[in-house]
Amino acid sequence: QVIKYTLDPIWKPFTVPLVSLCDGDVEKLIKVMCYDYDSDGGHDFIGEFQTSVARMCEAQDAFPLELECINPKKQKKKKNYKNSGIIIVKSCKITRDFSFLDYILGGCQLMFTVGIDFTASNGNPRDPSSLHYINPMGTNEYLSAIWAVGQIIQDYDSDKMFPALGFGAQLPPDWKVSHEFAINFNPTNPFCSGVEGIVQAYSACLPHIRFYGPTNFSPIVNHVARFAAQATQQEAASQYFILLIITDGVISDMDETRHAVVQASKLPMSIIIVGVGNADFAAMEFLDGDSRVLRSYTGEEAVRDIVQFVPFRDFRNAPKETLAKAVLAELPQQVVQYFKHQNLPPINSEPA
């Protein structure tokens, strides 16, 4: 960093990987050279000193470390030469960057919830043209997406019990529309055992519900966010929530969904949206804040990008690992980013 027009520069804090600074050896001597900047590139040498990371780490705000900048040529020429200035180290500390694997090995559980779109635009599940029609092979795009993502995620969850919720359908006996119902029809215990349990509950509920609408995402996002908010009270990197929404298209409650996603971005939570069928997925691309920061209708910005959108049609003829890879591409960094932002190390981590 160059600081112009002053003889008393104050440099901003910066980080350097310990390996590139001193090969990870905190006792190794490192040479620091200081120059006076010239715009033509002929920077004038002011002075230098040697120190070690261990020595610099002794510096604290109340006890800064003073290091004399020596110019050897001047030192030889002038008898009463002291130094060419003093560099003051105010603070130096070694911090550890944790990886996704560090958090998982430290005991962090990935809590996986599936949200399934049962709106009328999917078509009657008894009709072969419907996205929910289970073909003679026993599959459809919804099932393929559940299998591809669920099979990988379930390895990161010790009890393998996953809530599976539906939205956009009328439910028996009073045929009211619901946007967050347990597909096993047990509201107090919406958990399914493993991916197989989700698939069984999904297939079993299809004949008993009426596809309806509209396509509201916010209730299901807020549902998972409530659990993610409870997890933050533990103040430990113990749980991270993943909501997989499988849908056939256009979101009806875009304002509420944007707001829900912006609020969820403050929590240990990520949202994966898999679009099935051939609808226009522009709204989904919008929620996936890769190209710009997502804002709520109130103007509030998302703290981080937590939505990953993948159109299933791009992977219809690819091996299912390819879909899983695309769907989970951003998840490890989202987990690390959240816990780092909260200053939470892995539960069972060695100190730096």
Cα 135 from Cα 126, distance rounded (Å): 10
Q: Is the pLDDT of residue 352 over 70?
A: no
Average pLDDT over residues 188-197: 96
Between CA 97 and CA 56 the distance in angstroms is 20
Residues 6+ apart with CB under 8 A from 53: 18, 21, 22, 26, 27, 28, 30, 92, 94
DSSP 99: P
> 11: helix, coil or strand?
coil
pTM: 0.79
Residues 6 or more apart whose CB falls under 8 angstroms from that of 63 comprise: none
Between the alpha carbon of residue 9 and those of residues 26, 29, 89, 106, the distances in Å are 26, 24, 12, 42
Q: What is the distance between the alpha carbons of residues 86 and 67, in angstroms, rounded to a whole number?
A: 6
Percent of the chain beyond pLDDT 90? 80
Q: Length of the chain, please?
A: 352
Question: What is the Cα–Cα distance from 86 to 36, expressed in whole angstroms?
Answer: 14
Mean pLDDT of 297-307: 93
Query: What is the chain's percent helix, strand, coil content, to nearest 5?
Result: 30, 25, 45
Instruction: Report whether 113 contacts 270 (CB < 8 A).
Output: no
Q: What is the arithmetic mean of pLDDT over 261-278? A: 95
- The domains located in the chain, with CATH, are 18-89 (no CATH), 100-342 (3.40.50.410)
Is pLDDT larger for residue 149 or for residue 265? 265
What is the C-alpha to C-alpha distance for residues 45 and 37, in angstroms, rounded to an integer? 9
> What's the rounded Cα separation, in Å, for the pair 187 and 194?
18
> In the chain, how long is the greatest CA-to-CA distance?
99
CB 128 within 8 A of CB 77: no
pLDDT exceeds cutoff 80 at 291: no
The pLDDT assigned to 264 comes to 97
Name the nearest CA neighbour of 287 among 327, 255, 313, 312.
255
- Which residue is listed with tokens 């304002």? 255
The torsion angle over the Cα atoms of residues 45, 47, 48 and 49, rounded to 10 degrees, is -170
Helix (H) or strand (E) holding 255: helix 254-264
The number of beta carbons lying within 10 Å of the beta carbon of residue 112 is: 26
Rounded average pLDDT over 137-152? 90
C-alpha to C-alpha distances, 97 to 142, 342, 344, nearest whole angstrom: 38, 13, 11
Of 108, 232, 228, 218, residue with least CA distance to 165: 218
pLDDT digits (tens, 9 = 90+) for 224-244: 999 999 999 999 999 999 999
